């Protein structure tokens, strides 16, 4: 089955630790995205990538880092510099042309303990 | 930055009634999309309407777009309990160029049996 997979589903982090969220897709999509969602809120763009080995900051990139070494994978690292990391993180992908839909993973819920 | 703003923030109706949600946005767009999110899950694409289209249908969904007012509406007819979810509009804004979706805050729809 084609799709986009995020892991883990739940993640707990101690203050001061870096954690990496996984996002893998087998849809052959060029574009991939990371969004953050806080309770009762919309989605805010963290980083996006249109092609392998290239990515751009979104609206709230501070305290986060990404890499895009393979087309299928776009991991997100939440660093200790992110002061309020507890949130629901969503990864998405889309074909690299305008006017197409995005496909979302099921999300990772990150909690700082 | 949040491009789209949904209205109302929450809507509760009886099963069988129609539900209407509105979305306003700020800048010119290439297209506008509507997504659905069940609690704690990823988003699912519902419908995409291009900037040169005024109305689009998909099953029980009807979307309108008024670019002069920078607004869109999503109508769900003959609602069912399974339609209970949050609904988000997302825009592909010009002239930012890069393909990225900017989401609104969402409308929480509750269908009462």
pLDDT at A56: 92
pLDDT of residue A39: 87
Length of chain B counted residue by residue? 113
**Chain A nearest CA to B83, separation (Å):** 18
Of residues A48, A90, A109, nearest to B100 (C-beta): A48
- B 70-89: CB under 8 A from A: 88
Is 80 exceeded by the pLDDT of residue B2? Answer: no
Tell me what pLDDT residue B70 has. 95
Is there a contact between A44 and A59 (Cβ–Cβ < 8 Å)? yes
Name every chain B residue with its beta carbon within 8 A of the beta carbon of A106: 41-42
The tally of CA atoms less than 13 A away on the side-chain side of residue B41 is 13
When CB atoms are compared, the residue of B44, B92, B106 closest to A42 is B106
Tell me, what's the pLDDT at B1? 45
pLDDT at residue A13 tops 60: yes
Full 3-state SS string of chain A: CCCEEEECCEEEECCCCCEEEEEEECCCCCEEEEEEECCCCCEEEEEEEEECCEEEECCCCCCEEECCCECCECCEEECCCCCCCCEEEEEEEECCCCCCCCEECCCEEEEEC
- A contacts of B102 (beta carbons < 8 Å): 45
Q: What is the pLDDT of residue B97?
A: 55
Question: Per-residue pLDDT tens for B77-104?
Answer: 999 999 999 999 998 876 655 567 888 8
Rg (CA), chain A: 13
Q: How far is CA A47 from CA A39, A66, A73, A103, in A?
A: 20, 7, 13, 16
Model pLDDT for residues A27-82, shown as the tens digit of each residue:
999 999 999 999 888 899 999 998 999 999 999 999 999 999 999 999 999 999 89
For residue B95, whether the previous peptide bond is cis, meaning omega lies within 30 degrees of 0, is yes
Among residues A50, A48, A99, A41, the alpha carbon closest in space to that of B94 is found at A99
* Residue in the structure block whose two tokens are 């979305």: B23
Buried b / exposed e along B10-45 (16+ C-beta atoms within 10 A)? ebebeeeeebbbebbbeeebbbbbbbbbeeebbbeb
- B45 shares contact with chain A (CB less than 8 Å): yes
Convert the pLDDT of each residue in B25-73 to its tens digit. Answer: 988 888 899 999 999 899 999 999 999 999 999 999 999 999 999 999 9
Q: Indicate yes or no: CB of A105 within 8 angstroms of CB of B40.
A: no
pLDDT band for position A99 (50/70/90)?
low
Contact B111, B13 (CB under 8 A): yes
């Amino acid at each position: 089955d084609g799709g986009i997979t995020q892991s883990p589903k739940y993640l707990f982090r101690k203050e001061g630790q870096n954690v990496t969220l996984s996002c893998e897709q087998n849809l052959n999509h060029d574009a991939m995205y990371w969004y953050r969602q806080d309770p009762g809120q919309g989605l805010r763009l963290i980083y996006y990538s249109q092609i392998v080995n290239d990515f751009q900051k979104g609206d709230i990139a501070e305290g986060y880092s990404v890499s895009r070494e393979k087309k299928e994978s776009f991991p997100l690292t939440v660093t200790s510099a992110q002061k309020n990391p507890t949130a629901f993180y969503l990864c998405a992908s889309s074909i690299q042309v305008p006017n197409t839909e995005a496909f979302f993973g099921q999300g990772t819920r990150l909690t700082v303990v | 930055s949040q491009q789209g703003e949904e209205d109302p923030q929450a809507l509760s109706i009886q099963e069988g009634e129609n539900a209407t949600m509105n979305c306003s946005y700020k800048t010119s767009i290439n297209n506008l999309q509507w997504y659905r999110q069940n609690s704690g899950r990823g988003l699912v694409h519902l419908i995409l309407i291009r900037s040169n289209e005024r109305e689009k249908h998909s099953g029980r969904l009807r979307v309108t777009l008024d670019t002069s007012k920078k607004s869109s509406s999503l109508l769900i007819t003959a609602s069912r309990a399974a339609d209970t979810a949050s609904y988000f509009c997302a825009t592909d804004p010009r002239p930012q160029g890069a393909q990225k979706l900017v989401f609104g805050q969402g409308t929480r729809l509750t269908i009462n049996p």
